[in-house]
Amino acid sequence: MRWQRVILDEARWIKNRRSTSHRACLRLTAINRWCLAATPLQNDVDDIQSLLQFLRVEPLDKYSTWLTYVKK
């Protein structure tokens, strides 16, 4: 099923890229994606990357690019 819009409330729950929740959210197909989070950055700058991956913000949705340009 393809959705018009997926709104992810409490988006901090997908910050762990290895979690089942994160992988399940990435499989959702939608034209538009939104993330709602009061505290998107809790522990590490990588918390933001998982949100960018869900939002499909290129090129930072790729972890290798993130490591090269942001986290170094």
First-residue to last-residue Cα distance in the chain = 38
32 CB burial (10 A radius; 0-12, 13-18, 19+) = exposed
Q: What is the pLDDT of residues 16-31, one digit of tens each?
A: 889 999 999 999 999 9
Q: What is the pLDDT of residues 12-69, one digit of tens each?
A: 899 888 999 999 999 999 999 999 998 887 778 888 999 999 999 999 999 999 999 9
How many domains in the chain? 1
Q: How far apart are CA 26 and CA 44, in angstroms?
A: 21
Domain residue limits at 29: 2-69
In this structure, what DSSP letter does residue 9 have? T
Q: Name the pTM for this structure.
A: 0.88
Chain centroid offset of residue 7 CA: 12
In single-letter form, the type of residue at position 33 comes to R
What the block records as the tokens of 59 is 């090129």
